């Protein structure tokens, strides 16, 4: 992935920039020693690395505003960073940028159980939001796999989802308001502890904007009452098409499981060898989980099992205990680890209409053979959020490029099937150049013009989201 050359005069002026930052921030908030800034050289798309000029870790909205004001005045690009778990390179630095980390903004600012809301510092981890309210029987619904580590600010930037979002929605459905600092240091409040917005719904725009519009420092989130219990069922089929049809039928029947996870044969084999979850040897496995009271669980499972049986499953495993439930989930939860054991892998993220599942899976199989790279599919089938994992060997010359080329073909396939380049990982640098495949020039022009409004100097999170050739003129003009 090509990155633009850093601005040499900014790189040369590092000492002056760091001195200006130190003048307005506490001593320990500014990191400039190259040995320490290296910690910020990449995120979870670790194939791309670049140490930043400096990193700043503010403790308050005021300190974020002070940082942005200095960078704005000096024309220094800023890369906002949550916990650095982006799989799309969303927090990748440039050599001329200041990393602005939210890691110290972790406070619980307000909890209002009557209104089912919590307000937290945006650097708080996803799981620690639930941690703050679970003793009262509440939880925060979006659950990315990285929820132990990932920050709410990153969840907002990428509009993150998770396995349990089929029922509860993704971040944008659970976000009520933010405090956001604009590139020039202006502090704005958007949304709040209430429904709807007067005038334009900027909150919807900001959620998923990948650090292009501002830096979110606080967030008001919807919390939900914890259900009494949950129970999964494991269903195996001899073809992806039939498993896909079963998913469609469950959705159509009006039961709303919290999760419908899909694993194909390559994933089943890999996880079985790695985690020994006792999965059957078949083409496709579904884990369908429902939540509620014991009676609600029974009633939903009855409908689901009836549908599953209609499609002649080769396996239908119910759980009667917490242990059995854990075993059903074991393979799914080990899937990424199992693939990692087999080699390097790239995790894609695209979305498609649910009815296109069988077609898309068949085409991915064909593309996998064409490119000679194994692809495993493990994903949130209920809402059409695919996560193809491409296996490759990073040490074999050319394999990384081949893998990226296959990834691009698969994501184009999602777009052709009426879907979208991303579900919850964002565009970042990974899919930047594919945006022109999804969007017409005039669509990209509108998106960039909206960025102009918030960040006229194009200093925020540079060289991401928009193809370089499309955003080139704007970036030049801004320099």
Q: Which residues, 184 to 213, sit near a second copy by CB under 8 A?
A: 186, 188-190, 192-205, 207-210, 212-213
Those residues whose C-beta lies under 8 Å from the C-beta of residue 250, and which sit 6 or more positions away, are 257, 260, 288, 304, 307, 382
Taking contact as CB under 8 A, which single stretch among the options 26-34, 73-81, 93-101, 293-301 is the one that binds a second copy? 293-301
List of long-range contacts for 291-295, beta carbons under 8 Å, 24+ apart? 291/167, 291/227, 291/229, 291/230, 291/258, 292/227, 292/228, 292/229, 293/227, 293/228, 293/229, 294/228, 294/229
Work out how close the CB of 291 gets to a second copy at its nearest, in angstroms, rounded to a whole number: 10
Among 8, 253, 316, 473, binds a second copy (CB under 8 A): 253
Cβ proximity to a second copy, 26 vs 456, nearer residue: 456
- In the complex, least distance from residue 256 CB atom to a second copy, rounded to whole angstroms: 9
By CB under 8 A, how many residues form the interface with a second copy? Answer: 87
442 interacts with a second copy by CB under 8 A: yes
For the segment 223-252, give every residue that binds a second copy (CB under 8 A): 224-227, 248, 251-252
Q: How near is the Cβ of 159 to a second copy at its closest, in Å?
A: 6
Query: Which H helix or E strand runs over 379?
Result: strand 375-380
Binds a second copy by CB under 8 A, chosen from 79, 103, 117, 268: 117
When asked if residue 310 is in the footprint of a second copy (CB under 8 A), the reply is: no
> How does strand 344-347 pair with strand 215-222?
unpaired
Residue 135 interacts with a second copy (CB under 8 A)?
no
Q: Which residues contact 432 (CB under 8 A, 6 or more apart)?
A: 1, 463, 464, 465, 466, 467, 468
Of 5, 35, 295, 476, the residue at the interface with a second copy (CB under 8 A) is 295
Q: By CB under 8 A, name the one of 6, 131, 169, 343 that touches a second copy.
A: 169
Measure the CA–CA gap between 104 and 58, rounded to whole angstroms: 7
Minimum Å distance from CB 165 to a second copy?
9
Residue 98: helix, strand or coil by DSSP? strand
In angstroms, the CA 168 to CA 49 distance is 35
By CB under 8 A, is residue 299 in contact with a second copy? yes
Among 103, 122, 427, 460, binds a second copy (CB under 8 A): 427
Residues 6+ apart with CB under 8 A from 223: 113, 116, 117, 118, 129, 133, 138, 139, 140
* CB 299 to a second copy: min, Å: 5
Closer residue to a second copy (CB): 37 or 174 = 174
Applying CB under 8 A, among 41, 272, 296, 409 the residue interacting with a second copy is 296
Member of 341, 394, 447, 475 binding a second copy (CB under 8 A): 447
Only one of the segments 93-101, 126-134, 361-369, 420-428 lies at the binding site for a second copy (rule: CB under 8 A); that segment is 420-428
> Could you tell me the smallest distance in angstroms from the CB atom of residue 403 to a second copy?
20
Q: Is 442 exposed, middle or buried (0-12, 13-18, 19+ CB in 10 A)?
A: exposed
**Selected binder of a second copy within 215, 287, 435, 459 (CB under 8 A):** 435
The burial of 273, by beta-carbon neighbours within 10 Å (0-12 exposed, 13-18 middle, 19 or more buried), is given as exposed
Spell out the residues 6+ positions from residue 213 whose beta carbon is closer than 8 angstroms to its own: 180, 182, 205, 206, 450, 451, 454, 455, 460
Instruction: Tell me the residue length of the chain.
Output: 479
Distance of closest approach, residue 326 Cβ to a second copy, in angstroms: 24
Burial of 198 (0-12, 13-18, 19+ CB in 10 A): exposed
CA 42 vs. chain centroid, Å, equals 16
Q: Which stretch binds a second copy (CB under 8 A): 68-76, 230-238, 259-267, 349-357?
A: 349-357
Judged by CB under 8 A, which stretch of 7-15, 68-76, 340-348, 422-430 contacts a second copy? 422-430
Nearer residue to a second copy within complex by CB, 259 or 275: 259
Q: How far is the CB of 302 from a second copy (least distance, A)?
A: 10
Return phi, psi of residue 102, to 5°: -100, 10
Among residues 147 and 160, whose Cβ is nearest to a second copy?
A: 160
The span from the CA of 102 to the CA of 151, in Å, is 8
Window 359 to 418, contacts with a second copy (CB under 8 A): 383-385, 414, 418
Residue 423 binds to a second copy (criterion: CB under 8 A): yes
Instruction: Find the binder of a second copy among 405, 446, 473, 477 (CB under 8 A).
Output: 446
Both ends of the chain: CA-CA distance in Å? 22
């Amino acid at each position: 992935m090509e990155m633009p050359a850093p601005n040499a005069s900014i790189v040369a002026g590092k000492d002056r920039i760091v001195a200006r930052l130190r003048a307005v921030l506490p001593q320990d908030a500014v990191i400039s020693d190259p040995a320490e800034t290296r910690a910020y050289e990449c995120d979870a798309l670790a194939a791309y690395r670049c140490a930043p000029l400096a990193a700043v870790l503010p403790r308050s909205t005021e300190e974020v505003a002070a940082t942005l004001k200095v960078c704005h005045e000096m024309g220094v690009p800023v890369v906002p960073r949550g916990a650095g778990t982006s799989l799309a390179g969303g927090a990748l630095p440039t050599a001329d940028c200041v990393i602005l980390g939210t890691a110290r903004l972790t406070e619980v600012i307000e909890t209002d159980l009557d209104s089912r809301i919590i307000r937290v510092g945006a650097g708080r981890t996803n799981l620690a939001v639930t941690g703050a309210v679970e003793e009262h029987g509440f939880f925060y619904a979006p659950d990315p796999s990285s929820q132990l580590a990932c920050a709410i600010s990153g969840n907002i930037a990428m509009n993150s989802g998770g396995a349990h979002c089929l029922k509860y929605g993704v971040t944008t459905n659970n976000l009520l308001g933010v405090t956001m600092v604009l590139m020039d240091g202006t502090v704005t409040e958007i949304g709040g502890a209430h429904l709807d917005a007067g005038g334009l719904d900027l909150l919807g725009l900001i959620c998923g904007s990948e650090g292009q519009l501002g830096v979110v420092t606080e967030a008001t989130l919807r919390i939900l009452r914890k259900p009494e219990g949950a129970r999964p069922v494991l269903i195996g089929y001899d073809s992806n098409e039939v498993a896909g049809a079963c998913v469609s039928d469950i959705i159509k029947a009006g039961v709303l499981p919290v999760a419908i996870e899909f694993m194909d044969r390559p994933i089943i084999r890999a996880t079985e060898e790695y985690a020994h979850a006792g999965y059957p040897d078949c083409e496709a496995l579904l884990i369908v989980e429902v939540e509620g009271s014991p009676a609600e669980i029974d009633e939903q499972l009855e409908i689901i099992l009836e549908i599953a049986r209609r499609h002649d499953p080769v396996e239908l495993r119910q759980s009667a205990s917490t242990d059995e439930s854990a075993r059903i989930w074991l393979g799914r939860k080990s899937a990424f680890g199992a693939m990692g054991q087999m080699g390097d892998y790239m995790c894609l993220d695209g979305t498609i209409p649910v009815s296109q599942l069988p077609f898309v899976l068949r085409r991915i199989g064909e593309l996998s053979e064409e490119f000679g790279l194994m692809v495993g599919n493990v994903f949130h089938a209920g809402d059409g959020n695919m996560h193809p994992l491409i296996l490759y060997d990073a040490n074999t010359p050319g394999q990384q490029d081949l893998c990226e080329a296959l990834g691009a073909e698969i994501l184009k396939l999602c777009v052709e099937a009426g879907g979208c380049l991303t579900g919850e990982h964002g565009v970042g640098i990974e899919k930047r150049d594919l945006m022109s495949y999804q969007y017409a020039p005039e669509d990209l022009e509108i998106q960039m013009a909206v960025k102009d409004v918030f960040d006229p100097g194009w200093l925020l999170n540079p060289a991401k989201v928009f193809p370089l050739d499309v955003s080139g003129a704007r970036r030049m003009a801004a320099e």
